[in-house]
């Protein structure tokens, strides 16, 4: 057999699964053994997708944060806006919704499988989460009305501009999360809900919670 100019590595049948693989155990030679002895693991796409989405959303709010900081330092017209009290109530509502969602997830897990606890009412908890989410959005709108009654509109001063902008951007993403939750509830009621869907939606929702706490701090802090 002719040889190549250099001696390449030979495929070694007896070599175990190599390390340094990137994708969860796929760098395997089938070798002489059965393929079924190879355990493949792939992260569910929904899980990866949510992390990707959250990374992107984080970048957007990071950009807005840097815009806020630069704008604050650019001129002397920064007038601190006292946050309407309802914002704190809304925050509590949002945190509560994260709690009810976590409970709901546990109930969902308890309601399927061989040891199903048929007393669990996961649908109730999920619906409560949805309702709390809607309440949050409504509360944000009330906050806007309160600001308007104080004469603070979008263009009144740079701080008010950022207030409306950041709360609106966040609320828009929350509404997206509400859509995701509604989808989860619909699928659960039709018994076609996958764990990965529920997990991904829940992760998104909790992120909205954490993001809101960050934005609240940003707007509250006398930077």
Q: How far is the CB of 159 from other proteins (least distance, A)?
A: 11
Residue with Cβ nearer other proteins (195 or 206): 195
Token pair recorded at residue 209 = 């919670």
Q: How far is the CB of 96 from other proteins (least distance, A)?
A: 29
What 3-state class would DSSP assign to 18?
Answer: coil
Identify whether the C-beta of residue 119 lies closer than 8 Å to the C-beta of residue 40: no
Judged on CB neighbours under 10 Å (0-12, 13-18, 19+), 218 is middle
Q: How far is the CB of 22 from other proteins (least distance, A)?
A: 3
Q: How far is the CB of 32 from other proteins (least distance, A)?
A: 11
What residues line the site for other proteins (CB under 8 A)?
Answer: 1-6, 8-11, 18, 20-23, 26-30, 35, 38, 40-46, 48-49, 52-53, 55-57, 59-60, 62-64, 66-67, 70-71, 74-78, 154-155, 158, 161, 165, 169, 194, 196
Report the C-alpha gap between 214 and 212 in whole angstroms: 5
Identify whether the C-beta of residue 213 lies closer than 8 Å to the C-beta of residue 155: no
Q: How far is the CB of 132 from other proteins (least distance, A)?
A: 27
DSSP secondary structure string, 135-163?
HHHHHHHHHHHHHHHTT--TTTSHHHHHH
Report the C-alpha gap between 124 and 126 in whole angstroms: 5
Residue with Cβ nearer other proteins (120 or 171): 171
Residue with Cβ nearer other proteins (75 or 221): 75
């Amino acid at each position: 057999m002719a040889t190549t100019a250099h001696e390449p590595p030979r495929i070694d049948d007896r070599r175990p699964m190599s390390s340094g693989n990137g994708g969860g155990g796929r760098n395997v030679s089938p070798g002489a053994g059965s393929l079924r002895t190879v355990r493949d693991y792939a992260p569910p796409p929904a899980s990866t997708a949510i992390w990707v989405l959250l990374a992107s959303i984080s970048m957007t709010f990071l950009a807005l944060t840097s815009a806020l900081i630069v704008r604050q330092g650019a001129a002397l017209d920064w007038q601190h806006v006292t946050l309407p009290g309802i914002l704190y109530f809304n925050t509590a509502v949002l945190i509560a919704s994260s709690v009810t969602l976590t409970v709901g997830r546990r109930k969902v897990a308890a309601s399927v499988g061989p040891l199903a606890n048929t007393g669990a009412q996961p649908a109730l908890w999920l619906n409560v989460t949805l309702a709390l989410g809607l309440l949050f959005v409504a509360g944000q709108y009330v906050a806007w009305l309160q600001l308007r009654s104080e004469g603070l509109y979008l263009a009144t001063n740079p701080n008010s501009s950022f207030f409306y902008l950041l709360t609106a951007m966040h609320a828009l993403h929350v509404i997206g999360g509400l859509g995701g939750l509604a989808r989860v509830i619909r699928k659960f009621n039709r018994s076609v809900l996958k764990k990965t869907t529920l997990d991904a939606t829940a992760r998104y929702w909790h992120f909205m919670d954490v993001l809101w706490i960050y934005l609240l701090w940003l707007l509250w802090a006398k930077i």
